[in-house]
Structure 1
Amino acid sequence: MAPPPITAVLFDFHQTLVCGGDASGWLQDGWRRAGRGDDPVGALGDDAAADLSDFLDRIWEHASVIDPASARDESPEQHRAVFLETVAGCPGVDRDLAEALYLGMPDRWDSFDDTVPVLDELRARGVRTAIVSNVGFDLRPVIERNHIVVDALVLSYEVGSVKPDAGIFTYALDLLEVEAAQTLMVGDSWRDDSGAAALGIRTLLLPRTDGPVHGLESVLRLVGP
C-alpha cells in the first residue's frame, strides 16, 4: 500500500529555512556594536580574526560540547548563558564583545532563496506548515523580516519540549490537526529531527549548505501535486 498523502510539513528553522549568514560580517557587526574603535582584523590580526569567524560560523556545534542536551533551548536565560560561556574562551572575546555578538546574531539570519517560494507553493497546494525549532528566544521578528508565512510556530522554550523529544512534534501535530503519517518533517540535524521519525513522521534531512539555495524544492516533489 502507498503511504498516505502528505498534508502538512514541519520545518526546522536555523540552517533549514534561514542560513546563519556570513560569520566575518557578524563579527564586524558585533565589533561595532561593542564600541570598538578598530576592526577585528586590525585589532586581532588576519589569522586570529579568521579563526574567530570560523568558530562563530559553527557556534552551536561548539555549544553542544558544554550543553549536549540542548538545555539552552529551554529558556532565554539559558540560551544566552550557554552562548556566552561558549565564546568566553576565544582569544580577543571579552564579555562586552560576547554580549554584542549575541545581540546581533538574529540580524544575520536571512532566508534561503527557495524558502518563501516553496512555502508559497505548499500553501497553494493546501498543505499546512509549521516551524518547529529548538531555540531560546523569540523568532517572530526574524520570521517577519524574511516574509516567511506558516500556519503554526512551535518554539522549544515556549512549549517546554526540546527536539528530539516527542512532545515538541506532537504539539505541532495537534496545532495543525494532522496525523503523523500524513506529515513530513524537514530539518538539518540527524540527532534533533530524527525524533519526528520515531513518531512515524516521514523525515527529510537537508545537510547545511553555504549557498543561497538550500534544495527545498525536494519538499515539493515529496508532497506531490
Structure 2
Amino acid sequence: MGSKNKLKRFTENETFKNVIQPKREEILAGNIDLKGNWKRHFGNNKPLVLELGCGKGEYTLGLAKQHPEKNFIGVDIKGARFWRGAKTALEANLENVAFLRTQIELIDLLFDESEVSEIWITFPDPQKKYKRTKHRLTNKAFLDKYARILRPGGLVHLKTDSGFMHGYTLGLLHGLGYEIIYANHDVYKNEGSPPSVTGIKTFYEIQYLEEGKPITYIQFRIS
C-alpha cells in the first residue's frame, strides 16, 4: 500500500464515528473517558466482545452480523488495515461495530474490570522464536491482562492456522489450571465447532484452507 493511500485512510478514519483512536500518552495517563463506559459509545448495554489483532476487520464484521445482540470492537494498531472494516460497517449500517486503534499490551488500560464479555484472538502471529515469547498474545502476561477486563466466566477464543500456537496455548492453559471448554485441531474436518468458528472465513483463512492447512480453535475461561 502506497503512502498516499495510507494517509487517505488515516484521514478518513478520523471522520468515522465507529473508529476510536486514543493517543498512547492519554492511555498511560488514564485519561480515557470510555473506560468503564463503553456502553455510552454504543448507546446500549449489550455484552461487549473484543477481537484482538483484527487486521482488516473481517472477523469483527462477521461476528457482528451473526450476533446483533452483542457489541463488537476490533482492536489493532494498524489503522490503515481496519479502515476497510470500519468503512464496510458504516456502509452496512452495522451499529454494533467499532474499531479501536491501540497496542494490545495497553488493553487493560482501556477497559474496566469485568467490562468485557468475550475476547477473540484470530490468526495472531505465533512469534515462534523463544525471544519473541513476550509478544505471543496468549502468554501469561497477556492472559493476566485479559482476566482483569473479562467478566466472571467470560470466554476467550483462539482461532489459528498455527499448530505451534495451538499447542503452546493448550500447554500453558493446562499448566495454569484454566478451564478449557473446547479444543479442536481441525475445525473443518471435525464436527461440533461453533458457527462463529466455521461460519466466518477471512481472506487469508480461505487461502490457508486452499493450501491444505488445518484451522485450529480453543475456547477457554481465565476468570
| Interval of TM-score (by shorter of Structure 1 and Structure 2) | 0.3 to 0.5
TM-score normalised to structure 1 length: 0.34
More strand by share: 2
TM-score normalised to structure 2 length: 0.34
More helix by share: 1
Name the larger-Rg structure.
1
